[in-house]
Structure 1
């Protein structure tokens, strides 16, 4: 026996082998029940539907060992550890660069047009604001001077944030579709990924709007009230901010639910809230760590552009008010800043959606045995009692070969029956031959007494 607790088809339950069994006549097909909660199209029955089991899974084998989980793609099909989830995110990025980044590059290219247009349009007003801004060491700037400098910058960074929001909305369904293929180890082209993700864009937008729209509106109202009416609304503003922070990570699997289970916005929010119960700290830690490493990586990539921006940034003009920088210099700075922002958003936009997808898969494996359905979709069959993987196709001879070891048990008492049967057969054979010999070998002896009696009697 191998050291991992057994091999496919290992015997248990009294020595009888456990192998793949064909589904009964009334068993649901591999597609499950479409539209039901927990339904992952093409990957097993839905949660709570007939044919779904809540026991078993990757428990201990019959001899106390833990079977090795199959890994057809970037994830082992069992409950995941923190390091495995972290590695799966970057492993998916490494293996599926084109399906992830080619569609997102198109989105960035489209979004770069209005962003660069805004950069050219505000360069003149930004130059005027910089020239009118006084030396802060000599006198304080007025509200008008601050607004003249801040207004073009707000417009520029607002447009950049809008492009980033559109990119994140597109990256959510796209990264989820790519992760589904990466989990099963399937090849995926950029065109196929976009074709599968595009129908779920509307549901993703509705889900994000349902969750974050009310929170952002309430935060904006409270912030405006705090500015206009004093610090009385500062505490409610902070409380709402803390609640939004909690809800954001509690509802981390909402986009994977909307995409993989093909559900609406309200259903996706309710399902994500229930699915990610007691998993808030792991969601926070994994998302923060992946985002941090992504930010470090993009900082290294953008370092040359950032150095150029830092050198050409008219900080000296803003501090001295001499207006030595021209409009062309400010335009170049704005364009380089836009490029740095676009590259950063492009590189990091799939990371958080991939984290949310990995969290979703882990929660469903732990709570709903999604590993069994994913294994069957990848061509792997499990022995139901011990959850040992058995790689398809299984030979047809394997079914009759399994009961064969079970027949030696009744065959062992069979030798005990021939043992008394053999002495019983020679015993009657010997007396049968003994009387036959005297009858044939001495025929006169039985005839003499009647002859002797004859004369005596006569």
Structure 2
């Protein structure tokens, strides 16, 4: 079938019926359902039915006021909508996130500068392995703990970026779906009130998974070291891996969590339950779209940052190579290590900034698709955009029939018979003037 999605009532996309009367489970009528978006109130249904309704059962092309056609979405349409939103609303998406990233970069640069000297000294103190010398545990720890602090801080700042990008991308997608303009200031103003709820929602999702995995890995290492029991060690590692797999399933299943939180003004706990129910039977589709968009985004960010990484490698001067005997060993000064550490950290932050809005946009598109399929959100969105489905594409409307007139009790008057020339006129009627005569009194 063509891109119009098929005739009303056909199976489309995920095998979900749509068309007039094709309401999914839990729906409350056209455009309704548990979520009250758009308008932050109960959206009304269109009196003429749903998408694709016409007097002859023909199917018009779905309206597309913004980046999404208002009908059940195909995989390629959802993929295109993500990057169309990035292209059309670049400023609204990235300017607030870039400002936040700039603020977050300050403590990261400070920490990198403070630890660069220690890291450089620890690296220079390592023995030459080419001569058969092995580093001690203290030497490895002196090298490792500054790196752990820097990488941990980068990870924490990346999480902060992701949490902020969630509500920000959702409010931008709301405007992009209806084809409305949005500035960076408007996007930040609408997203800011939901940041606290987004933090709580992410903590409810990722917190238990992280705690369980840390406990199991720590328990496995501790018991394996103390008891020396290899089977117990492997069992705990397998349990940790199983929890990780379950966590991946839960995260993908709860993809619409932040859109529910923002667009339906829900609480964090209620958003988790609503997202779990809304995304039922859509796991592989959600996983595939998220993985594809993430991979393409990272490739694009890598292509952009590649010249910066080349420039960063040039910062290591050749004069820092120390020739000792037959081997050449790199000796890093404090200045060189500081430049390398700060540059690498900023490069990682730039990559997370470039790809930060992509996954939240995927989650928002999945949310809209699920609500269109199950709750007829397309009708409410079309009404919010000022579009009426049946009359937007030249399909004639059924004109309202005029009320029937009551039949008269008297017979209809017959047509008047012109009088014959010379015949006397009937009493009470005026004689017809002959040709050439004007009206009486002239």
Q: TM-score, normalised by structure 1?
A: 0.74
1:270 is matched with: 273
Give the one of 127, 130, 133 matched to 2:126: 133
Once residues 390 and 313 of structure 1 are traced to their aligned partners in structure 2, the CA distance between those partners, rounded to angstroms, is: 63
User: What are the residue-to-residue correspondences of 1:391-406 with 2, within 5 Å?
Assistant: 402-403=399-400, 406=401
Once residues 203 and 376 of structure 1 are traced to their aligned partners in structure 2, the CA distance between those partners, rounded to angstroms, is: 29
User: What are the residue-to-residue correspondences of 1:330-369 with 2, within 5 Å?
Assistant: 330-369=337-376
Q: How many residues align?
A: 373
2:21 is matched with: none
Aligned with 1:380: secondary structure?
coil
Q: Supply the RMSD in Å over aligned alpha carbons.
A: 3.6
1:241 is matched with: 244
Aligned with 1:167: secondary structure?
helix
Where does the alignment leave 5 or more consecutive residues of structure 2 unmatched?
6-27, 225-232, 406-410, 418-422, 424-442
Task: Say which is worse superposed, 220-229 or 278-287, in terms of deviation.
Answer: 220-229
Where does the alignment leave 5 or more consecutive residues of structure 1 unmatched?
6-27, 383-387, 392-397, 412-416, 427-432, 434-458
1:8-40 CA distance string (max 9 Å, x none): xxxxxxxxxxxxxxxxxxxx9x998xxx93122
Once residues 346 and 373 of structure 1 are traced to their aligned partners in structure 2, the CA distance between those partners, rounded to angstroms, is: 33
Aligned with 1:176: secondary structure?
helix
Aligned with 2:388: secondary structure?
strand
1:357-403 CA distance string (max 9 Å, x none): 00000000000000000011101124xxxxx2548xxxxxx99x923
Once residues 68 and 365 of structure 1 are traced to their aligned partners in structure 2, the CA distance between those partners, rounded to angstroms, is: 16
- How far residue 316 of structure 1 moved from its aligned partner, in angstroms, is 7.5
1:124-150 CA distance string (max 9 Å, x none): 110111012223342332222221111
Contact residue 172 and residue 350 of structure 1 kept, 8 A? yes
Matched, 1:153 2:147: yes
Once residues 63 and 380 of structure 1 are traced to their aligned partners in structure 2, the CA distance between those partners, rounded to angstroms, is: 20
1:201 is matched with: 195
Contact residue 287 and residue 355 of structure 1 kept, 8 A? yes
Q: 1:142 to 1:220 in 2, by over 3 A?
A: same
Contact residue 216 and residue 237 of structure 2 kept, 8 A? yes
Aligned with 1:91: secondary structure?
helix
- How far residue 158 of structure 1 moved from its aligned partner, in angstroms, is 1.0
Structure number, greater radius of gyration:
1
Once residues 255 and 323 of structure 1 are traced to their aligned partners in structure 2, the CA distance between those partners, rounded to angstroms, is: 48
Contact residue 31 and residue 41 of structure 1 kept, 8 A? no
Give the one of 45, 62, 79 matched to 1:69: 62
Once residues 268 and 162 of structure 1 are traced to their aligned partners in structure 2, the CA distance between those partners, rounded to angstroms, is: 24
Once residues 236 and 139 of structure 2 are traced to their aligned partners in structure 1, the CA distance between those partners, rounded to angstroms, is: 28
Matched, 1:38 2:32: no
Aligned with 2:197: secondary structure?
helix
Contact residue 69 and residue 389 of structure 1 kept, 8 A? no
